[in-house]
A = this chain, B = another copy of it.
Amino acid sequence: SRTIRLAVVPGDGIGQEVVAEGLKVLGAALPADVKLETTEYDLGARRYHRTGETLPDDVLAELKSHDAILLGAIGDPSVPSGVLERGLLLKLRFAFDHHINLRPGRLFPGVSSPLAGQPEIDFVVVREGTEGPYVGNGGTLRTGTPQEVATEVSLNTAYGIERVVRDAYRRAQARPRKKLTLVHKNNVLVHAGHLWTRIFAEVGREFPEVTTDYLHVDAATIFFVTQPERFDVIVTDNLFGDILTDLAAAVTGGIGLAASGNINPSGEFPSMFEPVHGSAPDIAGQGKADPTATVLSVAMLLEHLGFAAEAAAVEAAVAADLAERSGARGTSQVGDALVARVAG
């Protein structure tokens, strides 16, 4: 019998509530002979206010010894912008080399899209997770004065691009449509853009069956609303991926349904699964938040740990629930309904 050691970081706002439902569903989905051992870590705004800490070294070391991490949401208006994002969330992604930031964009039957015509949407964005403008490289000169200059440096390496591009090709190869779109802005960000374009072409030679396409990020946003059905797999840089996946969430029925995995495919470090939405302090503690995005992230977690059938069962439960939803339901009502479906 196998034991899964899961680190749980509920975080801020609705994080607690949605993670609780995610764990219920995870428990219901795992085979009976698998033992789930969860350890909760108190990280986020409360800890920051109490101790000034965002992610202490000993916590990072403990997290490392787990099989995976389930994260709720990080961030609160009481904490200066960037402190928790850079000091906790991004620190985890970088420390654990989560270079594959996987974000499906799927419009489930029964879910209404803000797009007229309710197009068929079923793509996945493979967002680079450890490079680009997210590296935190930059600074300020004459800070706070009328002469201030601020820089942000986007770092891109052939090594970093190649591994995410190859991962995206593999995913495209495994899907029926076998189509991969690179999104960048290689007509303006020519240095990084040409590197992405070169590696994309080079790795593509290993995947002759995959059809490829290139779009500038601005043009991609147009197609996300006018022709989202054209996309199968998308590979893109960290910042463009951030922007496109929120837009993807919007057109597929909202951020309440968008799941993500921060994946280290080598298994050297634990991968981390989290809903794309934030901590939503305005509705926190009211039992109103939709836990579906967290539950879909749990499905990705199951898939990552090798429980493909169980992952499919959770996804099917969500699909069935969404197809039959009517009226507003509370957080735990949705969770219970999903547990019943997974168990049933």
Contact = CB atoms under 8 A, between A and B. Distances in A.
Given A82-B193, A188-B134, A246-B222, A156 B147 contact: no
A269 B74 CA distance: 47
A30 interface: no
A156 B146 contact: no
Nearest to A218: B246
Interface in A101-127: 112-117
A219 B191 contact: no
Contacts of A147: 157-159
Contact of A189 (B152, B219, B249): B152
A155 interface: yes
Given A149-B156, A158-B147, A187-B75, A221 B192 contact: no
Interface string A224-245: 1110000000000001001101
A145 B155 CA distance: 16
Nearest to A142: B158
Contact of A225 (B114, B140, B149): B114
Given A81-B187, A148-B158, A225 B250 contact: yes
A158 to B, nearest CB: 4
Contacts of A95: none
Contact of A192 (B116, B145, B150): B150
B115 A225 contact: yes
A141 to B, nearest CB: 10
Contacts of A251: 225
A254 B227 CA distance: 12
B158 A82 contact: no
Contacts of A16: none
B194 A82 contact: yes
A185 to B, nearest CB: 7
Contacts of A192: 138, 150-152
Interface in A285-315: none
A186 interface: yes
A133 B145 contact: no
A147 B157 CA distance: 7
Nearest to A75: B187
Interface string A175-213: 000000000011111111111011000000000000000
B153 A151 contact: yes
Given A82-B190, A114-B116, A255 B151 contact: no
A123 to B, nearest CB: 16
Contact of A150 (B140, B151, B194, B225): B194
Interface string A254-286: 110000000000000000000000000000000
13 contacts: A81-B197, A86-B187, A86-B188, A115-B116, A133-B154, A136-B190, A152-B156, A153-B153, A185-B239, A188-B239, A221-B250, A222-B247, A225-B247
Interface of A: 75, 81-82, 85-86, 90, 112-117, 133-134, 136, 138-140, 144-159, 162, 185-195, 197-198, 217-219, 221-222, 224-226, 239, 242-243, 245-247, 249-251, 254-255
